[in-house]
Each structure stands twice: as C-alpha cells, then as structure tokens.
Amino acid sequence: MAVSLSKGGNVSLTKEAGAEGLRSVSVALGWGLRTTSGDDFDLDASALMVGDNGRVLSDTHFVFYGNLDSPEGSVHHTGDNIVGGGDDDEVIEVDLTHVPAAVARIVFPVSIHEGDRRSQTFGQVSDAYIRVVNGKISNGRVLARYDLSENASSETAMVFGELYRRQDEWKFRAVGQGYASGLAGIARDYGVNIG
C-alpha cells in the first residue's frame, strides 16, 4: 500500500519497493481547477536535476515541455495530456540506474504558464497531488503519494516533491513549496540560465 505523506514527510522508495526492486519510477502529477477567470489555464510539470550545491548540473538538466530528455536520457518528460495514466495530468519517468552520480536530487515543480500576466495562482488549483509509481505508470505499484493542501493564493509555481539519494537508497520527500515567480523563478533559483 502506498505511503501517504504530509508536507515535509519522506519515505524510502527502495524499502517500499522491497523485493520488487527499484530500477525506475514514474512520477505522476495531477491537479484540478477550482475557479477560472475565463482565460486559458495552463499548468506544466518539470524536473530539475540538481547536485549537492543545489544547482542544476547544466541547463540541459532542466527537463520540461521544451526539453523532454536529460542529456544522458535518465529523466524523460512524457509530455502533456497523458493517455492511459488514469487521472494524472503529466508523467515524468526516471531511470534511477542511469541518473548521473553527481545528481543529489531531482525536484519536481508545477508552474502556471504566464500566471502573473493572467493573474492566475495556485489558489485557483484544487486536488493537486504527486505520486511515485515503481516502474511504468500503466502497471506499476504506487509507492508514495502526497496530496497538497496549501492555499497558495499568490504562488504561480510550486515544488510538489523531490527524489533524493540517501547512501544507497532513493527517497522521496513531499515538499509543497510555493513560488511567486513562476517557472522562470524556480528555474533561476536552481541555477538554470534563463537569459
């Protein structure tokens, strides 16, 4: 049974996988809309592969809709509007066996496209969650899940969770940290050259 996390909580994915083994995971993210102003509402998930210093290894280690694969191919964004993934809105696959050793964490933000210009925030988003599935999203077992409950009325982006290494284990932490500066702000904070 999947571990349900609250904000700040963590779980060892390696231990949860147990005898199944843990080679790859699918990180699925979902959300609903509470209210809209009539404007198109566009949310995007992404992944930042960061080192011990908290910065991405390179700009190409920022995986998003415009850069679907990390350079070595260990992180793959499957794109918008996944079919067959249940209610998930976006899925990012991580081949844990090929994640570069220099990567200490993989951070998963969700951002509202041009949220500031359209006056859209996570206060208008409901039922947001992130779940980690062992293997493929279509047939893997859910190892962990975090349902976000924050009222982020001024945030246009939010880090839902992160995968991180702890000695020989892979762990997952529920983060729920909001940003008022959108995807660009999160990316910049993690050392991506937005210029």
Closer to another protein by Cβ: residue 21 or 195: 195
CA–CA dist 187, 180 (Å, integer): 12
Ramachandran region of residue 114, left (φ > 0), alpha (ψ -120 to 50) or beta? left
Closest distance between another protein and the C-beta of residue 188, in Å? 8
Q: Please say whether the beta carbons of 172 and 10 come within 8 A.
A: yes
Closer to another protein by Cβ: residue 114 or 147: 114
Question: Which DSSP letter does residue 64 get?
Answer: B
Closest distance between another protein and the C-beta of residue 114, in Å? 7
- Contact pattern from residue 35 through residue 74 relative to another protein, giving x for each residue in contact according to CB under 8 A and a dash for the rest: -----x-x-x--------------xx-x-xxxxxxxxxx-
In 113-168, at which residue ranges do the beta strands (DSSP E only) sit?
125-134, 141-147, 157-166
Closer to another protein by Cβ: residue 22 or 63: 63
Closer to another protein by Cβ: residue 44 or 162: 44
Q: Is 184 in the site for another protein (CB under 8 A)?
A: yes
Whose CA is closest to 157, among 192, 131, 128, 194? 128
Q: Is 113 in the site for another protein (CB under 8 A)?
A: yes
Residues lying near another protein in the complex (CB under 8 A) are found at 40, 42, 44, 59-60, 62, 64-73, 113-114, 182-184, 187-188, 192-195
